[in-house]
Structures are given as C-alpha cells and as structure tokens.
Homo-oligomer: A and B are copies of this chain.
Amino acid sequence: MSRTPSRSSPAVVSGASSQPQPQPQRRSPRAADGPSIAGVAEQAGVSVATVSRVLNGHENVRPATRDRVLAAIDASGYRVNELARNLRTAESRLLLTMVPDFGNPFYAEIVRGIDSVARRHGYFMLLCDTGADPGRERSYFDMLRRRRADGAICLDPATIQQALGEASQALPWVACCEFDPQMGVPYVGIDNYRAAGDAVRHLLTRGHRRIGLINSDIDYLYARQRQQGYLDALSDAGIAPDPRWRMNLNSLDYEAGASAAAGLMLQPDAPSAIFAVSDTLAIGVIHGLRSVGKRVPDDVAVAGFDDISLAAQIDPPLTTIAQPMRELGETAARLLLQRLANPQANVPGVLLPHRLVIRGSA
C-alpha cells in the first residue's frame, strides 16, 4: 500500500528547486517578453495607431497595409498586452461570481450558466468562494472598487448582502438565488415560498401528517421563505406544526443532514416525512435515516430541493423541487451585462419557475 499522507513532506520525485519558500518577485517591466505594439509598428513600417486599428478590426485601413501589419504580428509572435488595453479602456472584462460554497453541486450548474453567457459576451468569470464570510465577501466587493473586475454576481446569504450596505448600492452587481427585493439590486431567483409549499403539499398528499423540516442557516432568505412555505402549507391543512420537527443547520454538507435526521428520529413522536431544503442535505438525511434503521420511503419519506444531477442516482431516487439552475445563472449574467451596458437603467427582478419532481423517496 502507500505511505500515510503527510502534509509536510511530499515526495520529491525529480528535479529540485533552489527556492523552497515561494517568494514572488516582481516581473521586470522591461522583461524580454516579446514585442510591444511599437515593435510591430516599426517592423511593418507603420505607426502604432495603424497597428492598433488592425488589432481592433477598424474599417479604415487599406488592405495592403493591413496585410503588412498582420504579417509583422505573425512574424514577431506579438500578443496585445491586455493590462495596457484595460487601463486605457477602463474595463477589465472580468466578472466576479461569489458563492458561499463551490463544493455544492447546486452552484456548479448555476456557475456554468453564468460562465457561458459571460464568455459569449467577451467576459471572463472569476469564481470566488466566500465561505459565506462577510469579510471575504467585502474583500471581493473591493475588487470592484479597485477596478479588478467590471461587475459581480452574488449568491451569498441575503443577510451578508445587506451587511454590505448602501456603500455597495452603486456598484455594478446583481443578486442570484438570494436577494432582498427591497434592496434595489437586480436579482433573479425562484418563488421559494411556493416551492416549499409544493413540496410539503406533496408529502401531505401522500398521507403524512408529521412532517419534519431540515433547514439551513436562517441567514439565508431562502431558508426563511421555505420555512414559511412549510409552516403555512401545514397550517392550511389543519396541522399545528410542532417546533420539535424543525432543525436549522449551518451547513449543507451531507454529514450535517445525516446527523440531523438521526437526531430527529430520537424523538418519541418522530416525523414520518422530512422535507430538506437542499438535495445535499436530503441525501445526507437518507443516509442518516438508514444508519438508525429507518427505511426510505417506507418508514420515513424524504423530499429535497434543487434537483442536482445526483438526486436521480441515489437509492431511493430523490423526490425534490427542481430549480432551473442553468437558467438562473444565465439570467443573472444577462442582468449584470444589462446593468453594465446601461448603468442608470433600472434592471428588473426576475423570478423563474420551479417544478416538483416526484421520484422514489417520497
């Protein structure tokens, strides 16, 4: 077998470094880094302005000249220095996406959506894992102020967004999934209240009366909205929700769901169904249920939320609320691009439809 992993002593297999501690030193401004636009101009026998024109595809260049420039570019292996271009045009063509945890598959698909429209519009996307930490969040917002990025999409808890306060109001950003309509920031999300109600009503339809809720941190607006949807759906059915059926977790990890479910089952009058506000949680719940000898859905039914691709793969397949993840990301990116194009226009808030997906778990 292999040695036990050891942080301190990776096995050096070949070569050697003369610099054990990485201590980046500034790259010399005058490094032999290939030619600048001036070099190309000289080589082609034209002015830098002309080179710039062909670089940017302007019309007013005689074909012969253009060809000469192109040849010079080719011969010299020239590449524009975007740093310089960006300074001149006052834009970085970089978009920030801030997520609380990019290990969660839910975000992966959203981020793909953002990335695809960003790229289609000539922007690159920088993915930032904030860990739902206000400090990190703030430091990323600072990138906007420092012109490191042109705009941002924030998926962090609404509470954190609010903490940024009015100071950030004017910055070019939009909220995705988590948003406070009052804040005046463009947003895209779903109707969490109704979606949660749909899930609970499905459980009700299946004959369940004791329905537990495994919720995430209440810092998330979606957590509050889904809880309300759950509460009201129960009340509407003439059921008085027992507070002991509800749990709030500060993590969406599988493990968190597993131990929460196991805990819930310890109660004398334990729920016969559990609604978890995230598929990752729900998958953990199923695991936790099994660990205390409960069968799903026979002993306890489980419903999740998001419909990540994994949901259909586990045993039993997960009944869940599908969010249009890809579309959420795409819309967020489009809203941001709109705002960038037209800073003073008021950009809409958008709600996308969700869908109940019934599988084996409930």
Instruction: Enumerate chain A interface residues (CB-CB to B < 8 A).
Output: 1-7, 10-19, 22-29, 31, 33-34, 79-84, 86-92, 94, 102-103, 105, 108-109, 111-112, 115, 121-122, 124-127, 129, 142-143, 145-148, 150, 181, 186, 188, 191, 194-195, 198, 253-255, 258, 283-284, 286-287, 290, 309-310, 312-315, 322, 324, 327, 331, 334, 337-338, 340-342, 345-356
Contact = CB atoms under 8 A, between A and B. Distances in A.
A125 B27 CA distance: 18
**Copies of chain A in the complex:** 2
A29 B353 contact: no
Contacts of A346: 15-17
A24 B327 contact: no
A76 to B, nearest CB: 12
10 contacts: A11-B353, A15-B186, A16-B346, A17-B347, A26-B91, A29-B90, A108-B108, A124-B126, A126-B127, A255-B309
A191 B11 CA distance: 11
Nearest to A93: B148
Contacts of A28: 90
Contact of A22 (B27, B91, B121, B283): B121
A24 B120 CA distance: 12
Contact of A352 (B5, B82, B181, B286): B5
Nearest to A81: B147
Nearest to A136: B119
Contacts of A109: 103
A329 to B, nearest CB: 12
B146 A19 contact: no
Given A5-B355, A314-B315, 8 more contacts: A10-B188, A22-B121, A22-B334, A27-B91, A29-B90, A79-B146, A81-B87, A83-B147
Contacts of A82: 143, 146-148
